[in-house]
Amino acid sequence: MTDVRPTDDVDGVLHTLFRSDQGGHEQVMLCQDRETGLRAVIALHSTALGPALGGTRFYPYASDEAAVRDALNLARGMSYKNALAGLDHGGGKAVIIGDPETVKSEQLLLAYGRFVASLGGRYVTACDVGTYVQDMDVIARECRWTTGRSPENGGAGDSSVLTAYGVFQGMRAAAQTQWGEPTLRGRRVGVAGVGKVGHHLVEHLIEDGAEVVVTDVRAEAVERITARHPRVTSVATADVLVRSPLDVYAPCALGGALNDETVAALTATVVCGAANNQLAHPGVEKDLADRGILYAPDYVVNAGGVIQVADELHGFDFDRAKAKATEIFATTLAIFERAKADGIPPAAAADRLAEQRMAEARTAAPVGTR
């Protein structure tokens, strides 16, 4: 047996898990099935509010350590998202390492489902980047703690509908706070990314009377929008969009959209979009506030999707899930009010409210049930 010495990267991951303020995870499970090639990480950040709920990401990470780190960060984010969505679920996330276009197989997904099932319901999985409804149908054959399945298999199907609806509710709350009315009528809204979620958001904005300008790296996605709505205009890139005259900027594509350069260039006075992890680094939220730009925390406003898949566990009812997603309006307003009262950016206020709900749940839980 050869001597294996920890690398700096591994030590960094373990530091995050055990010793940093970003840690505090309850459990991390490393999964391997050599026969199918499965390598996966399942991270449970908190079950204070109930079973951890979060999607499975299938992605070709640069290293195993990067995969673990991503799982830890994503799981923590789900704890906060589920807490502020008012769900009786904690936060968890899983990542499968590899290119889904080349290594994904039915047998690999079944093997993964067995690992999730071995947690006995402490983790409920769903779709994320690189996984789809049909994948959840396969995983569900080995694991009953699977959501995001097809309607034919008792599921809710595509969650992007309520994700977009929730973002729209958050945007209405931002409009109420910034301009005194909960409507985007007459406002110019720039949507960066008009894929699964973005194109539904455009529909809500047009119905509400907004002027919409879009961009996407895929020309066909833009063409689909402009063909359906000739009054929607487009620009070549997100960089052009943020510099265009806007009232609202809606990042709906990749994370990290709000960085030092973007914030300095923004003309919009509201940022509210569907993308996860929009803040490129700590401090961006303060830079936005210092410029008078109202930021609607991404994990608050994009919670419609997780609300939908959580409802599936009780026998999916679209109207019930939509009513829950409508509450994102009131939650976002409460965050803006808390931020103003405490003199802090909305992102910090959202974190405080989520941490308060989790702490109260831990305190209220009878001894022996946590």
Give yes or no: 81 in active site: no
Given 93, 196, 286, 340, the catalytic residue: 93
For 97-161, the DSSP string reads ES-HHHH--HHHHHHHHHHHHTTTTSEEB-B-TT--HHHHHHHTTT-SSB-S--GGGTS---THH
Query: Residue 161: CB partners within 8 Å, gap ≥ 6?
Result: 200, 304, 308
**Cα(218)–Cα(53) distance, rounded to whole angstroms?**
31
For 283-339, the DSSP string reads THHHHHHHTT-EE--HHHHTTHHHHHHHHHTT---HHHHHHHHHTHHHHHHHHHHHH
Closest-CA residue to 303 (of 80, 70, 75): 80
Closest-CA residue to 153 (of 137, 139, 133, 142): 137
Q: How far is CA 93 from CA 34, 51, 58, in A?
A: 22, 12, 11
C-alpha 256: how far from its chain's center?
13
For 147-209, the DSSP string reads -S--GGGTS---THHHHHHHHHHHHHHHHHHHHSSS--TT-EEEEE--STTHHHHHHHHHHHT
Query: Residue 368: CB partners within 8 Å, gap ≥ 6?
Result: none
Mind telling me the catalytic residues? 93
